[in-house]
Structure 1
């Protein structure tokens, strides 16, 4: 008889293993605990592990695990008995449940599960998110958020009134794969208080006075006086989670990490993931608008994101409920929890033991020189790697049909970490940046008609090559073309020019930068002030000129995802 674990209802796990091995399989225990945390709303979780004739009592939270010394359950059977008795006498909070969350009533559950069926546009991101949230087998909860909230749909301010909002949530739209750390989960939720669909971010932040919270980073951006619209999510409310006036914190002692504080943010926009782009033009627009937001925020308040990745750029269609198939999307640069100001980055040492950033998208210099301080050029390079990574996985190029070769290439360029030093990436990534070699060679739209993304990637490669020349360092054969309809698609010019367009250089898209700008001899003076990455403008000019030429881009050039990552 086969059975499966009902993770969403698990109260206590008992893990039994009889093996000749002398060590406890701790990674497996952490995976089990993380599955419970992803399925339920918990601060901690208990487990009994039985290994041969010995046992341990274990308590997990987002800081790790605390466990008793190993004991013989044959010689001391009362230990487990007393533990179970005491556990049964505790209330829900004592057993590790989040007291700010409760199971939804039957009426609320039925309402939430039927929301997607009543949505006016079934193909919209909201409807798709609600449909996924109502997946059978996942419980529906009511989450209470007591925090400052906007009253008119504009971004929340520090002066906004405190309010209690109750949100219905089901299956999370995203979860974290690791037990230890921020444990970020995202939910497409229904705000019962304001009667609207929102996005709820539930996460844990480091408990340190030297690390600003994501809520405070949003406040810093809102108070910076940026004129016009900038592409980041609209924060409606949120903050640290409190119950009876007490902030929820992790309790497991550790010297490797800061303790963590539980927090929630309620965001206005429900978006699609960047990897769900429908064609290369949508990818271009999403990355370009996110890049523009990055520039405006850096220049307004010197706040650097420090974790630009494919997961932190979201596709938002402002007219999703009227025209969900429109290519006129924008990219929202989300997840500002690791952001720091220029002063914070230059005034002292690291506030956490681990380097900030998502590994595949970190700059080649950071991966080869781990002690190098993170600067604005590293963030700009991360946008370039987002382009490359998405193109390699989802667009037609010369390695598209050679899956084994493609898998090895992506692993080498974007996933590799040295066995001797996990903070070191593959040197080939640095070599590509230094030589200006594009990471992707796109297939032509037709004979002698290059894919427009190839020009963008080539221009970016030249810009970064020039940057790598000037900065100071710390001490295969073509494949078969997929059968795709890659004809240019006429697109109406529906855009209102973004606020940052006025700052861009008037440069034709084919000549933003070229190799003629590189020094002709190796003895020519290297000058960091000559780097095109001193600010955002040259890269953004390259991207925006391509966006404005939308009719040159194909409408259906996305291919099936390669199963290589």
Structure 2
């Protein structure tokens, strides 16, 4: 999490109000509010208490309760650990609070004047609608209202603290105090976005006798110019009056999400417990059941994630249902990003658990909504892709897609902008599917080979039918359904080959070509090579008898930075040259397949530098520049490996039957009928699809026979 990138400003305060907050129709009870007591405070703690008393006395927000939030020890620890996951090492040492200095929640009852005793409340993540922060010292302001180049030549307002910016041409103050204040704004917003379903969040920052308005959404955070609330208290009062008369949607809450009832929460909890229990294997069993990692995290042990009931519908069918969910088992709503969250949710209509993907897709014309892509895949008859139950863009009450607004305002009128930051617009999107399982839960090597074979079939059919690439083939997107069949999911990056979009994908599974060449863009051959890397990754993790360092290094510890990508491209090429199949898997067909694929991909990479030798002589070699982009070339190699797996199983089964027959022939019939019957029954109980079980059984029978001899 960067505490500098993503903020833009500074917009004039009145323009902020007119742009983001609809005027209230009711007249303000006391248009001239006295905030002078706030300026006289010497500590931040005093300022926060005085601010609450001023707002209580003014009756500006009759429907809101302002309070000083506190957390239980366990809640604070969990929140802190969650926030630190996205922090740099130096940022973790700042000990940033995970909640705002002052919070506002909704209340229905008529308010009474707050006493010191009831100023403090446990922080409510379910109904907090506004966050406020206070700083009595001017040097705690994280922003300035002029460009770096203007500081030396412009008469700076008395409101602005002395000091320098970060030197990058942005309006962020480079002081430690400013860094901490900026971090407080961001972390408190992050915690709310993670636990609520919202599109935007308003915050206020009080610094000395000045105040700033701040609005967060998934594209960025827009900051107002700092104004003197002693000289222009009406502007500040107008903010609170407008905010108190805004509905939940205008305040940023998703109208499709409401707090679940007790009965809905109970049904969800029971369904999660049943699902987790069904995935668990008894302690004394060698059985390997398919499960969903971190599924138990869907139930929040910290009591900071409310249980929500979300109304979802199908964009095409118009049918709808209610989903009950709590905490994402993967991902969280990281600000200024796509904020993808993966949930287990209870479908109230179908009375079953489903998978809910909540994200903010790019609003670029280059990318299409994932739901629309799934509709095209199904219409085109593409195999091995998920069936979508519900999905589409999340709509606001006016029927328009929920989208970010900070980027729109910045692009529309940037005359006040002090930065060169370009924000990217996003649209809220949801997908509901059945639950799928990670690829490392394949039952054996044959199933792994079959799944990657089927994924290549899906890649081929999609490109031939729609002219579209997946562009993000990874171990997280090639999955298994409950029957162990391939499911190629997460088509949100899908699109045709496009030089303007450049390379995309998960770094660990990107092709050598894309990693090495900054000007390269995704083509069919890159999706095919990504499938090869998925095969290697799962084979190493699941079936390798030992892990050599180079093979493990291909998939661990590599980031998206250009230097790392170049190093990874080199490591992958070296891996193709031999280290990948030095692991010597137990399965001979898998080892042979990986060797064959690696040698072919090595030739492809080499021939991009040195063209292949052509002709009919001994020196002629396959032209991989022509063969590699052909899915059928790779499918034939996988089909050969599958036939070898089947032959290996059949040979093991035949060997077992021969051994049992020999043992039965040498054993007297009458005295040992029960025992022979027991042996035959035991053989029948051996899983037919596990050749290793058959081989072990055969060895035991041969050993028994030799002992008798």
TM-score w.r.t. length of structure 2: 0.57
From 313, 318, 340, the equivalent of 2:495 is 340
Give 2:518's aligned residue. Answer: 370
Give the deviation of 1:249 after TM superposition. 0.7
Secondary structure of the structure 1 residue equivalent to 2:636: helix
Q: Does 1:246 align with 2:394?
A: no
Q: Does 1:38 align with 2:194?
A: yes
Q: Aligned partners of 2:424 and 2:245: how far apart in 1? A: 31
Give 2:507's aligned residue. Answer: 359
Give 1:542's aligned residue. Answer: 637
Secondary structure of the structure 2 residue equivalent to 1:247: coil
1:397-546 correspondence to structure 2 within 5 Å = 398-399=546-547, 410-411=555-556, 414-415=558-559, 417-418=561-562, 424-429=566-571, 431-432=573-574, 436-439=577-580, 441-443=582-584, 445=586, 452-471=589-608, 531-546=626-641
Give the deviation of 1:304 after TM superposition. 0.9
Secondary structure of the structure 1 residue equivalent to 2:254: coil
C-alpha distance after superposition, 1:305-355 (max 9, x if no partner): 11111221222122xxxxxxxxxx1221101111113xxx25xx52x5x74
Contact 1:470 1:526 in 2 (8 A): no
From 289, 302, 306, the equivalent of 1:139 is 306
Q: Does 1:300 align with 2:456?
A: no
Q: Does 1:21 align with 2:186?
A: no
Give 2:385's aligned residue. Answer: 232
Q: Aligned partners of 1:371 and 1:27: how far apart in 2? A: 36
Give 2:536's aligned residue. Answer: 388
Give the deviation of 1:88 after TM superposition. 4.2
Note closer, same or farther for the CA distance 1:197–1:357 as it changes in structure 2 (3 Å cut). Answer: same
Secondary structure of the structure 2 residue equivalent to 1:336: coil
From 429, 432, 435, the equivalent of 1:270 is 435
Give the deviation of 1:356 after TM superposition. 2.1
C-alpha distance after superposition, 1:272-326 (max 9, x if no partner): 22355566555444333323222222223222111111221222122xxxxxxxx
Contact 1:281 1:555 in 2 (8 A): no
Note closer, same or farther for the CA distance 1:362–1:100 as it changes in structure 2 (3 Å cut). Answer: same
Q: Greater CA radius of gyration, 1 or 2?
A: 2
C-alpha distance after superposition, 1:369-425 (max 9, x if no partner): 12123111111111122233344555545446x7xx88766457x436345xx7755
C-alpha distance after superposition, 1:218-275 (max 9, x if no partner): 122222245xxx21111123211113212211111266454111121221x2112235
Q: Aligned partners of 1:129 and 1:95: how far apart in 2? A: 32
Secondary structure of the structure 2 residue equivalent to 1:232: coil
1:186-225 correspondence to structure 2 within 5 Å = 186-225=342-381
C-alpha distance after superposition, 1:537-559 (max 9, x if no partner): 23223334434516668879xxx
Note closer, same or farther for the CA distance 1:452–1:178 as it changes in structure 2 (3 Å cut). Answer: farther
Contact 2:271 2:352 in 1 (8 A): no
More divergent stretch after superposition (184-193 vs 270-279): 270-279
Q: Aligned partners of 1:95 and 1:46: how far apart in 2? A: 7
C-alpha distance after superposition, 1:86-144 (max 9, x if no partner): 54443322222111111111111112111245569822768988754334333221111
Secondary structure of the structure 1 residue equivalent to 2:248: coil
Secondary structure of the structure 2 residue equivalent to 1:24: helix
Note closer, same or farther for the CA distance 1:428–1:355 as it changes in structure 2 (3 Å cut). Answer: closer
Contact 1:133 1:173 in 2 (8 A): yes
Note closer, same or farther for the CA distance 1:224–1:13 as it changes in structure 2 (3 Å cut). Answer: same
Structure number with higher helix proportion: 2
Contact 1:119 1:127 in 2 (8 A): no
Secondary structure of the structure 2 residue equivalent to 1:238: strand
Give the deviation of 1:61 after TM superposition. 1.2
Q: Aligned partners of 1:135 and 1:234: how far apart in 2? A: 29
Note closer, same or farther for the CA distance 1:407–1:30 as it changes in structure 2 (3 Å cut). Answer: farther
Note closer, same or farther for the CA distance 1:274–1:527 as it changes in structure 2 (3 Å cut). Answer: closer
Q: Does 1:261 align with 2:427?
A: yes
Note closer, same or farther for the CA distance 1:528–1:51 as it changes in structure 2 (3 Å cut). Answer: farther
Give the deviation of 1:64 after TM superposition. 1.7
Note closer, same or farther for the CA distance 1:276–1:94 as it changes in structure 2 (3 Å cut). Answer: farther
TM-score w.r.t. length of structure 1: 0.70
Q: Does 1:68 align with 2:224?
A: yes
Runs of 5+ in structure 2 lacking a partner? 1-71, 77-97, 99-122, 141-173, 280-288, 411-420, 650-689, 694-709
Q: Using CA pairs below 8 Å that are at least 6 residues apart, which structure has the higher relative contact order? A: 1
More divergent stretch after superposition (114-123 vs 86-95): 114-123
Give 2:278's aligned residue. Answer: 122
Q: Aligned partners of 2:341 and 2:197: how far apart in 1? A: 10
Give the deviation of 1:36 after TM superposition. 2.7
Contact 1:125 1:270 in 2 (8 A): no
Give the deviation of 1:205 after TM superposition. 1.8
Note closer, same or farther for the CA distance 1:22–1:31 as it changes in structure 2 (3 Å cut). Answer: closer
Contact 2:440 2:541 in 1 (8 A): no
Contact 1:202 1:263 in 2 (8 A): yes
Q: CA RMSD in A?
A: 4.2
Note closer, same or farther for the CA distance 1:259–1:162 as it changes in structure 2 (3 Å cut). Answer: same
Contact 1:24 1:51 in 2 (8 A): no
Contact 2:201 2:217 in 1 (8 A): yes
